[in-house]
Structure 1
Amino acid sequence: MKFGKDFGTFSFRWDQVVTAVLKKYPNPYSPHILSEDVIHREIKNGKLYSKKLIKKVQLKSIPSFLRGVVHWATRGKDTCFVLEESEVDLETRKCTTYTRNVDMLTYADVVEKVVYKEDEEVSQKTQIDRSHWVSARFSKLGSESYLFGRCKSRIPETNRGIDYVIRTLFAPETLHELEKKEHKLKMNLERVKEVKEKVKPRMEKLIPTCKAQEDY
């Protein structure tokens, strides 16, 4: 079995990130996802629990030495399914998702856990804590390392997809935040300019003195 961890940050509020996570498909960064269906949803003890069945395209760029194994495990199918379970806790401001394969179980088990938690210091940011486990039946063939590498390589695209959905759902609000940042930057630049103008006469007075000392 191989285990990996990854950490990241979204520069958006926790509620915005969670909304996007629950609605992250479709997005242009996940073309391999064909559909998703909510098969269960309930509110229990103040928490929202959901289960989704996600249909995706099988891996295309499979190394030649693994193609026979994958073809046998998938029975030659071009698509497969994964199950995503999520828990949203408004009290702790934490959203946890678990994703695992329900196809190809004779070949491998792939599990991913992601925790989206509100930043303790900056409420406008959300922390990402991602873990994934890969256990392959034919690890001696290198399949475990290959699947583990695939999990890691998909992380940036997954995050870009969620970022895209956030900006799509909350465009006016996110643009407003960008405008505020741009305005703040502009104000800071103007202040720097003002300080330079105030200091300039003093610097001009000091320059002749410095030159005189050098001549001396």
Structure 2
Amino acid sequence: MAAPHRKLAPGKLVIASHNAGKVREIRALLAPYGVDPVSAADLGLPEPEETGTSFRDNALLKAHASAAASGLPALADDSGLCVDALGGRPGVYTADWAERQWFEGNPGRDWYLAMGKVEGLLAEQGPDVDRSARFVCTLALAWPDGHAEVFEGRVEGGLTWPPRGKLGFGYDPVFVPAGKTLTFAEIEPAEKHAISHRADAFAKLVAGVF
């Protein structure tokens, strides 16, 4: 029998991320639960190097780092796009694919560039390539004493090209969730929050720790 989850008490909770879009989504999902979210960026906490080989590894690494540095419980999210025809890539390297190389302009992330890399690899496989994909989200909640809880969510769908919509972030403009005709970047945020991989993981977290 699985051990019971540790409950999260009301109060401050660090969102262990410097990604403004991700922080915004997590704040919205946490709003009903009596916690006071503060981002790692707001606290000036450093971003640890993500050296894990799985979403779980990286989420735990970030959550433990923020909990230890702040003395507060910390929630980290590691998420990404997994494309069937690319063997699950970009996966844990989802954000890395957006990093500009030295010959691609100023340093930083270019998500259009990343979407183009995915599309280019799919196009190499011909017009009948399987465009099935999913977003995966792993949430790790860590306390300063080292205890942690982990929850995973996912949303199935497929990729489209060219990118459509301006409401999302990351790869949202090319991802059409199963059963929908609009991309995540064309769907209103409230509707996206209800069906996303992050929402799926949060539903499991809420059931476990609140």
Query: Is this a same-fold pair by TM over 0.5?
Result: no
> Which structure carries more relative contact order (alpha carbon 8 Å, separation 6+)?
1
TM (norm. structure 2) is 0.31
TM (norm. structure 1) is 0.30
Structure of greater Rg: 1
Return the structure number with greater helix share. Answer: 1
Return the structure number with greater strand share. Answer: 1
